[in-house]
Amino acid sequence: MKKNLRLEATLGLLVVLTIFAIAFQQTLLEQRLVVDPNSGYTVRLYHDEESGGNSLIDLEDAEHFKWSCILRDQYEYPFCGFEVIFDPKRVKGLDLRNFHKIRIWLDYSGVGKTLRISLRNFDPQYSDPAIDKSTKYNQIEFNTKLLSSMSEFSLRDFFVANWWIYDNKIPPSLSHPQFDNIVVFDVQTGSGKALGKHSFQLHRIELIGQRLNTADWYLSIIVVWLTIILAFLGYRVMNLKDQVLFQRKRESELIEVNTLLDARSKILELKSKTDFLTGAFNRLGIEEAIHLGLSEWRKYKKPLSLVLLDIDHFKQVNDRYGHDVGDQVLTTLAAAVQKQIRTQDLFARWGGEEFVLLCRDTDINHARLLAEKLRELIANLEFSQDFKITASFGVTTFIAHETLDELFKAADMALYKAKSTGRNRVVVV
């Protein structure tokens, strides 16, 4: 009896600790990195003199990160900046991969409308210690009106400067933001010719992250509880003297486990048929609909049409705005299309920026009209970065004695023709 009470008390305590770990996981996992004038890092001022400009710069108070500059128009793009250098050799810096937010306490006065903040990363794949500008410029530019006593930005909003990619001939595989070895924090005047005086004082930089990501934290809790459950079951098995009672309890536990596994299996089956990014079906998910559509065509002669669509110039979106924006384009397009199609139609991501729409009981004319409707819908989608996208469509329908492979080849040919004849159009074969 006493053992049972102690066991129940222990389990109760573990439940309380689990609730605490879930409720306060953000506080427990949070880590902060503070950079301020007392951190002991080296600082450096720079301006457009190195590019042939004649702007002036003055470090008014190095101990308090206070400086000013006067931009003049001798250089086409006058600028000045201030660096906090984490490694004087600019080779071994800070690993910020587990950080997701940056807070900045910065005072600014002047004629500039925008400022730039850069987290510059060193990587031997593209950086040379002897060339300062070879470090990757992960940056964000924002309106000076956004500055307050404390300004907060997400590291997801940082992008790699286009000029750096072009100047260093960086391949697309290395053109995404990188925060594993930040050697310099940089504050610089923004775009445009903001001629005149600019005054700055950087009080503090604070990076906020997590020691362990949320998914791993919950996984750890599950593993602990699975271990506890297994230990508990082992304890019960060792102490059960009545074999009949043990067998009944064992059967009951197996039924519960099987029920849980069956439910979990259905969830995993659905996930396996769904594209994780867009929520549309994947190739596996569309397979059943294709077989059903072919069966309806063969038995009842119900028409079966296929629409392939491909986003025009999608690589340029990724190169210019980053893969996060590219992902946003894919999810926005998928959501918009799914709202416009019928429940009997099936929409799936075929790969990359290409999607397939299977239209059961739909002839070629109706499929073409639907494709035109979707083409206009996509062309009118709006994004926060103020750009537009278009898509090209290939439409075909299943005919007698045709194989499934021939159906998709016909749609591919139509899509290729739509691409090669100007894009943003529907081609029917």
Token pair for 76: 């086409």
Listed in sequence order, the residues at least 6 apart from 212 whose beta carbon sits closer than 8 Å to its beta carbon are: 29, 220
3-state secondary structure of 392: strand
3-state secondary structure of 304: strand
- Tally of CA atoms within 13 A in the half-sphere of 12 that contains its CB: 6
3-state secondary structure of 39: coil
Q: How far apart are CA 276 and CA 295, in angstroms?
A: 29
Q: How far apart are CA 416 and CA 396, in angstroms?
A: 13
Q: Where are the beta strands (DSSP E) in 211-361?
A: 304-311, 346-351, 354-360
Token pair for 88: 């004087």
Residue 158: name the closest of 125, 136, 131, 133 by CA: 136
In Å, what is the CA distance from 411 to each residue of 272, 349, 392, 398, 418?
A: 26, 15, 12, 10, 11
The most distant pair of C-alpha atoms in the chain lies apart, rounded to whole Å, by: 95
DSSP conformation class of 398: -
DSSP conformation class of 48: G
Q: Measured on CA atoms in the order 187, 192, 198, 199, is the torsion positive or negative?
A: negative
Alpha-helical regions (H) of 24-125: 25-29
Q: Is 353 tagged catalytic?
A: yes
Burial of 63 (0-12, 13-18, 19+ CB in 10 A): exposed
Token pair for 416: 């290729």
Residue 225: name the closest of 399, 22, 428 by CA: 22
Under 8 Å between Cβ of 98 and 209: yes
Listed in sequence order, the residues at least 6 apart from 134 whose beta carbon sits closer than 8 Å to its beta carbon are: 126, 127, 128, 168
Under 8 Å between Cβ of 59 and 202: no
Set 83, 152, 253, 353: catalytic member: 353
3-state secondary structure of 297: helix
Q: Dihedral, CA atoms, 272, 275, 281, 284, nearest 10 degrees?
A: -40
Residues annotated as catalytic (active site), given as ranges: 353
